[in-house]
Amino acid sequence: MIGKSWIRGGALAISLSLLAACETAPLTGRNQLILLPESQSQAMGVDAYQEIKSKTPISNDPRYTGPVNEIGQRIAAISTQPGLNWEFTVFEDETPNAFALPGGKVGVNTGLFKVAKTDDQLAAVMAHEVGHVMARHGSERMSTQMATQLGVQLGGAVVGQEYAGLLGQVATLGVVLPYSRIQESEADEIGLIMMAKAGYDPRAAVTLWQNFAAEGGSRQPEFLSTHPHPETRIKDIEAALPGVMPYYESSPYR
Ligand SMILES: [Zn+2]
């Protein structure tokens, strides 16, 4: 049996730790819940990356690895975490997709080149992925999951087993969904600034997402499945462009 005082004490402890864990995303200033130490989430990212690399065929085609590394490293070098051991790997997979993990570990599928047809368009994807790492979206996602599980435990004690089961399903869904829409929009926003600073034309981001939408057809690429609707995304990017163009025009990399 769990007494009421324990529940109240537990809720107090959690709210205190949530308060202590509030952080701010770079460039956007959005408040974030981060419960994991950065070193821990980075170690988890590195482990997951190793596992993906051991199970997925890696491309050594310089037509892909050349631009992915060059563009990725250039953007990473001017990010808020230039000291991370950034790594950019091309996977042999025809799905137009890319991903980023804590610790600066980025993956790009060969299928991405069906939609990223120029260096500027590829830079839009690379900068978006670097943006996820800069804003610590992996840590945030895991923290939300932890908070949800704590909530499930407390909820289970309060309202009984059935309701806890329902909450548990919601929590599981949270793990499966890669990043939230808020995080995706934020990675777009940060990515647009970063690509412009690195000397890549941010207007190419619009073309990239148009290509993605055209490629998707009835069966949407995985990369888009949890992402904002392509039309919303393109509109948001177009609205942000006037504020971002000065970074591009003054970039020393151009
Ligand atoms: Zn993303």
CA of 192 to the centre of ligand 1 (A): 13
Residue 10 lies in a domain: no
Residue 4 lies in a domain: no
Beta bridge partners of 31: 24
Residue 196 lies in a domain: yes
Residue 205 lies in a domain: yes
Domain count, the chain: 1
CA of 225 to the centre of ligand 1 (A): 10
Instruction: Name the one residue in this structure whose structure tokens are 């980075």.
Output: 42
CB contact at 8 A, 90 and 58: yes
Total Cβ atoms within 10 A of residue 133: 27
Print the domain residue range for 237. Answer: 38-137+178-249
With a threshold of 0.75, does the pTM exceed it?
yes
pLDDT at 104 over 90: yes
Q: Quick one: pLDDT band at residue 179, thresholds 50, 70, 90?
A: confident
Residue 35's pLDDT is 78
Residue 23 lies in a domain: no
Q: What is the pLDDT of residues 111-136, one digit of tens each?
A: 999 999 999 999 999 999 999 999 99
Asked if 129 is an active-site residue, the reply is yes
Helices (H), the chain: 4-20, 38-55, 62-77, 119-134, 137-159, 161-176, 181-197, 204-216, 222-225, 230-249
Residue 66 lies in a domain: yes
CA of 178 to the centre of ligand 1 (A): 8
pLDDT at 5 over 80: no
Distance CA 40, CA 35 (A): 10
Strand pairing report for 22-24 and 31-33: antiparallel
Q: Quick one: pLDDT band at residue 157, thresholds 50, 70, 90?
A: low
Higher pLDDT: 6 or 73? It is 73
Residue 189 lies in a domain: yes
Higher pLDDT: 193 or 2? It is 193
Q: What is the pLDDT of residues 13-38, one digit of tens each?
A: 555 455 456 788 898 888 888 877 88
CA of 231 to the centre of ligand 1 (A): 16
Residues 129, 140, 186, 189: which is the catalytic one?
129
